[in-house]
Amino acid sequence: MSAPVVETHGLAKTYGLAPVLRDVDLALLPGAGAFVVGANGSGKSTLLRILAGLEAPSGGRALVFGQDTRKLAARYRRRIGLMAHQSFLYPNLTARENLEFFADLYSIADPRASADKWLGRIGLAEVADTRVRTFSRGMEQRLSAARAMIAEPALLLLDEPFASLDHDGAEIIAGLIRGAIERGASVIATAHAVPEIGGVEFTAYEISRGLLKEHAHKEEVRRGGRLRSLLGR
């Protein structure tokens, strides 16, 4: 059996005195997908930032590729793609220049060709030379997904990847996630409710007040998530 790509043991995070994550245990195998659902402020984004090595946990351990995320070496960081609420893009660069820059950082052989390939995949080829500052939130979201995936990482961390997207945009991102799983990448995504991504089975977790629970039936989570979002809780 393959070693987990992601493992957490008793993971905890507090901001000041406020606990955000409490005793989180999680394991994800290569090629597996997981959706973590929960209300706003439940700790979903914090969990992803810790797994990406951008924040240190207050307690417990988080391991990615068997390495402690507090000190991830460059060769492990390059295998992680994070799509967060913020796009990490430069507003005064064009879409192509942004992707070329990140392709450069990841030492991709032909950054220009790679940028153009991804712009085609996310349906932004026609606005390749337009500055990102003029993009709608949905367009920036798609470009952010391409930025996270341009190095074809073995672990994709996606924070609410379908937020702000119209139907076509959501289809594009769903296709990219499906493609990543099919090439063997592991995916952890957050959402308010588990979406349907045809042909891909996800393990569903629910996070509430910093506690993570696995749900056997994602339909249950989906209904709960929708209800919570409708109630605004």
Partner 1 sequence: MSGFAAVLRKDLRLELRSGESTLALLALSMLVLVVLVFALDAARVRSVDAAAGALWVAMVFAGMLGANRALLAERDNGAIRGLLLSPLDPATLFAAKLTAALIFMAVAEVGAVILMVLFFNLDFDASIARLAPILALGAIGFSALATLLSAITGRTRGGDMLLPILAVPIFVPALIAGVKASAAALAGAPLASMGDWLKIMIAFDMLFVTAGYLLFEHVVGED
The residue ranges that bind partner 1 (CB under 8 A) are 52-56, 74-75, 77-78, 80, 82, 84, 86-93, 97, 101-102, 104-107, 111, 147
Minimum gap (Å) between residue 131 Cβ and partner 1: 9
The alpha helices in 81-217, defined as continuous H runs, are 95-105, 111-121, 137-149, 167-182
Which of 87, 203 has the CB closer to partner 1?
87
Would you tell me how many other CB atoms lie within 10 Å of the CB of residue 104?
13
Q: Which of 9, 22, 6, 1 is nearest to 187 (CA)?
A: 6
Q: In the chain, what's the furthest Cα-to-Cα distance?
A: 49
Minimum gap (Å) between residue 84 Cβ and partner 1: 7
Minimum gap (Å) between residue 82 Cβ and partner 1: 6
Minimum gap (Å) between residue 110 Cβ and partner 1: 11
Which of 157, 181 has the CB closer to partner 1?
157
Which of 7, 140 has the CB closer to partner 1?
140
For tokens 């961390």, name the residue: 157
Which of 37, 82 has the CB closer to partner 1?
82
Minimum gap (Å) between residue 52 Cβ and partner 1: 6
Which of 104, 126 has the CB closer to partner 1?
104
- What is the C-alpha to C-alpha distance for residues 162 and 78, in angstroms, rounded to an integer? 24
Question: Any residues with CB less than 8 A from the CB of 69 and at least 6 apart, and which?
Answer: 50, 51, 52, 53, 56, 57, 62, 63
